[in-house]
Amino acid sequence: MGSDATTASKPLHPAVESLLRFVNDDLLADSKKKVERDTPLFDEGWIDSLKILRLIAFLEVTAGKKIPDALIVMDRFRTIETIAKNFLNQ
């Protein structure tokens, strides 16, 4: 997983906490392991093509706006923190 002592001690921003809860409790409900805010989601195979669609839908509902196709690129979805910064105005 992708945590260290520094990451673990910082309090979570509400947007990060909400996104982390969705990914772990919904997208990864069948997994015994859980991601953390700095876990590489694609590099480690946590998120696949179907899960990314559900994640984008969650982000659009949470942010209250559609995400333009041009913004849906891998670099914006690397980690929970990256996603929150790019799409939830964290």
In this prediction, the residues of the chain whose per-residue pLDDT falls under 70 are 1-9, 90
For residue range 35-51, what is the model confidence (pLDDT) as tens digits?
999 999 998 899 998 99
Give the sign of the dihedral formed by CA 73, CA 38, CA 64, CA 49: positive
What's this model's pTM, rounded to 2 decimal places?
0.83
Q: Which two tokens stand for residue 80?
A: 């929970």
Tell me the three state secondary structure of residue 36: coil
